Chains A and B, each alone.
Chain A
Amino acid sequence: MEKYWNPVLETLPREQLQQLQLKKFQNILKWSYEHSPFYRSLYKDAGLEPGDIRTLDDIRKVPKTEKSMLREAQGKEPFPYGSILSVPIEQVTEYRQTSGTTGQPVYHPETWQDWEWSAESWAYALYAQGYRDYDRVFLPFGYSVNIAFWAGHYAAEKIGCEVVPGGVLNTEARILKMKEIKATAFMATPTYILGMADVAKKKLGIDLPKDLNIKKITSAGEPGACIPATKKRMEEMWGAKVYDQVGATEIGHWGYECQAQAGLHVLEAFHLVEIEDVETGASITEPGKRGSMVITTFDRFAHPCVRFDSKDIVEWSPIERCECGRTFRLLKGGVVGRADDITKVKGVLLAPTAIEEVVRDIPELGDEYEVVVIKKGDIDDITLKVEISPAFKHDASTVEQKLAQQLRLKTGLRYSLEFHDYGTLPRYDVKAKRFKDLRAKE
């Protein structure tokens, strides 16, 4: 069996890889300039023409983009994707969206070709993690509007695996189905990987390493597999190898662990990753210093992603070449944090501002609130404390219903709600600390 999905590309010497990246950057820049009103305007305002980029160093002249700009652009025509859309809307065949927990969701269009690209990029990762055509792969996620593991499904098919969708089943049914069909691999968030193990043991009395046949697990959607203690716990509970994988709706899948588990490979034939000092913006090219990731996606044309400031905190690995033989550069410890205060809860990106927006949009509630995130066992638990205005105290259950519904709608999460008497939550004069993440972090 072949060791690589693409032995030519994955072992390309660094110099040639960089040549390829420059050419692909020039292509996507030109495409974006010529086909997207958003990018054309951005570059014209900066006095930049695509032909100005002749070297990798020149790339830093290209203005960065960030999520707020994508949101603003999608308010324009054509609905719903706005002025970043770079193909005729008739060519769009798939709709995706971000979770919207940092505000308004960003809608993401895929042409059939771009969707092939997504599956192709995941295929590189899954193949590196040992997925082969003899694997029976179970997908225990809710197949919905968010990208989640959709591309993982199609990539596993592309590799030749037998794919079993476990969409609407509950956790117990999913575990029993994996047991019944002798699944050899699955993909999930680390929270859910641990949560399933807990249910298997406590509710079903199943000894996972002994009773199931899972050999490898792809962990994505939140940090976990890059945190050594969490990885160890997951691997021990399941008796399987757990591999980290990262991506985002706007960017696509861009990083993965291989079987050597020596860090996160950047899929450099599909992306250009730059790391910048968070304070100075200076380029970080050497190991030993963390910075914020700016990323460009190549060959994905409907909704281009050029120099996107992802706010992910990353660090180059000192390992020059992974023992797997791939020349794609490694990041030490995966994504180690976020440049802003956005955090992931139950696999969903959550910004305290999104909660605030909900709370303060309900007139029956007071201004103050407090969010506390803890771990109950291996599952994230989020409590929202609010104050109900005295005039509405008699109708607390209606307010509670409304609050729960809005939170679910705007943040995609369920909360334990606590109603406090008006004026009893802490007040702040400066630098309010309303968001308390009490989960232990290694």
Chain B
Amino acid sequence: MVKDYKVGDMAEKIKVLKETATELKRVSGGIQAVDRNVDRILASIKMLEINISDLVDIGIEHREG
């Protein structure tokens, strides 16, 4: 069965995740237990960007596979 991968939609969700994580760090008051875990979350989000969001930058919004 052919799948339709909605790259653009996934990239939007990844963007929201990144904004939320960044905002959480901004309001953490410097709590290390928050900041350091957010750093790890952001590192994982970067992998999502490499896997998905960067494709939007070259004009791919969806792909069949």
When the two chains form their complex, are residues B51 and A6 in contact, meaning their CB atoms are under 8 A apart? yes
When the two chains form their complex, are residues B46 and A113 in contact, meaning their CB atoms are under 8 A apart? yes
Question: How long is the Cα–Cα vector from A16 to B56 in the complex, in angstroms?
Answer: 11
Chain A 104-140, CB-CB to B under 8 Å as 1, else 0, gives 0000000111011100100000000000000000000
Question: How long is the Cα–Cα vector from A299 to B58 in the complex, in angstroms?
Answer: 16
Question: How long is the Cα–Cα vector from A24 to B46 in the complex, in angstroms?
Answer: 14
Instruction: Return chain A residues, CB-CB under 8 Å to B58.
Output: 16, 19-20, 23
Question: How long is the Cα–Cα vector from A110 to B1 in the complex, in angstroms?
Answer: 41
Given known A8-B55, A299-B50, contact A116–B43 (CB-CB < 8 A): yes
18 chain-A/chain-B pairs, Cβ below 8 angstroms: A7-B3, A7-B5, A8-B5, A8-B7, A8-B51, A9-B51, A11-B65, A12-B55, A16-B60, A23-B54, A23-B57, A112-B40, A112-B43, A113-B42, A116-B47, A269-B50, A299-B46, A299-B50
Instruction: Return chain A residues, CB-CB under 8 Å to B50.
Output: 117, 120, 269-270, 299
When the two chains form their complex, are residues A8 and B52 in contact, meaning their CB atoms are under 8 A apart? yes
Using a CB–CB cutoff of 8 Å, the interface residues on chain B facing chain A are 3, 5, 7, 39-40, 42-44, 46-47, 50-52, 54-55, 57-58, 60, 63, 65
Using a CB–CB cutoff of 8 Å, the interface residues on chain A facing chain B are 6-9, 11-12, 16, 19-20, 23-24, 111-113, 115-117, 120, 269-270, 299
Given known A7-B5, A8-B7, A16-B60, contact A113–B54 (CB-CB < 8 A): no
When the two chains form their complex, are residues A113 and B43 in contact, meaning their CB atoms are under 8 A apart? yes
When the two chains form their complex, are residues A112 and B39 in contact, meaning their CB atoms are under 8 A apart? yes
Given known A7-B3, A8-B65, A16-B60, contact A116–B54 (CB-CB < 8 A): no
Instruction: Return chain B residues, CB-CB under 8 Å to A115.
Output: 43
From B7, B42, B47, B55, A117 is in contact (CB under 8 Å) with B47
When the two chains form their complex, are residues A116 and B55 in contact, meaning their CB atoms are under 8 A apart? no
Instruction: Return chain B residues, CB-CB under 8 Å to A269.
Output: 50
From B44, B54, B57, B65, A7 is in contact (CB under 8 Å) with B65
- A5–chain B nearest beta-carbon distance, Å: 9
Give the one of A7, A23, A111, A113 with max B CB within 10 A.
A113
Instruction: Return chain A residues, CB-CB under 8 Å to B63.
Output: 8
Question: How long is the Cα–Cα vector from A9 to B60 in the complex, in angstroms?
Answer: 11
From B5, B42, B52, B54, A24 is in contact (CB under 8 Å) with B54
Residue of A nearest to B50 (CB): A299
- A296–chain B nearest beta-carbon distance, Å: 15
- A307–chain B nearest beta-carbon distance, Å: 20
Instruction: Return chain B residues, CB-CB under 8 Å to A116.
Output: 43-44, 46-47
Given known A20-B54, A112-B39, contact A120–B47 (CB-CB < 8 A): yes
